[in-house]
Structures are given as C-alpha cells and as structure tokens.
Amino acid sequence: MTHVGILGGSFNPAHRGHRGITLSAIDALALDEAWWLVSPGNPLKDAANDMAPLAARLASARRMARRAPIRATDIETRLHTRYTLDTIRKLKRRYPKIRFIWLMGADNLADFHRWKNWRQIAREVPIAVIARPGYDGRALAAPA
C-alpha cells in the first residue's frame, strides 16, 4: 500500500517552510510522497483580500515542490470540495489503495477545533502534527 501525506493550505505563496515540514514528515513517517492540496478557498480565511488567484498559488506550489516527492494539486477544485472532511472522504474513495495521513503544522493544530467536523477528520485519517517554532505551546493548549 502506498502512504501519502496530505498538506492542505492556501499556499499564498508556497514557501520553504511548507517544503521543509513536508520533507521532514516524508522522512519521519516513511511516506512514499506528499500531496499539497492548494485550496481554492479556505473557509477560515474567507475575508482575506490578499489571496492570490488559485492558478498563481498552484504555480508557486509546483515550483516549490520541484525535485522532491511532493505533488502540488488543485484536486479540491476538481472534487468540488470545500471542507477537509469532504476532501478526505472523496480521496479515500477515489484512491482506495492509498493510505492517507493528514499533515498539519502546530499552528494549525492550535485552531483545529474551529475546523468543520474536526472530530470526524481525526476518525477518518491519522494526523501527523509537525512542530513549528513559536506555535508548540499554543498547540498543546488547544482544545483539539
């Protein structure tokens, strides 16, 4: 079975931090590859006026993922999903021979309890939390 880490985000723009935590997760979890799900719109950031167009963010992510076992994709647009739980469920149905692991920076864990259906997400897939300097204390104190 193939093991794929999933890192969702706005990637506005993609940067070395995204690449670094992804490569660390691939190594630590013995993943075959990771997919960056470049979100068409983050429900927690709907008011963001500084969001670059999806095509620009996807191009940025693809450049940052070059020469690494990372695939930047806009699959959420093609799956017509807006929320993480819906995306995960559709991915699992579409790719039954892949074991998905949700990758999350400690900064996102601190707000995970605000995600729609966060408890069901944790039931659907294993979640790997990657340390981020300055966020670990907040993450440990989070309700999720």
In angstroms, what CA-CA distances link 9 with 52, 96, 133?
Answer: 13, 23, 19
What residue segments make up the domains of the chain, in order of their start? 2-141
Q: 54-65 and 16-29 are packed helices; what angle lies between their axes, rounded to 10 degrees?
A: 50
Cα–Cα distance measured from residue 103 to residue 6, given in angstroms and rounded to the nearest whole number: 5
Interval 37-77: pLDDT, tens:
999 987 776 656 788 999 999 999 999 999 999 999 999 99
Cα torsion 5, 8, 14, 18: sign: negative
User: Nearest to residue 40, comparing CAs of 6, 83, 4?
Assistant: 83
pLDDT at 54: 96
- Cβ(138)–Cβ(42) below 8 Å: no
Domain 2-141, CATH homologous superfamily name and number = HUPs (3.40.50.620)
pLDDT in tens, 21-36: 999 999 999 999 999 9
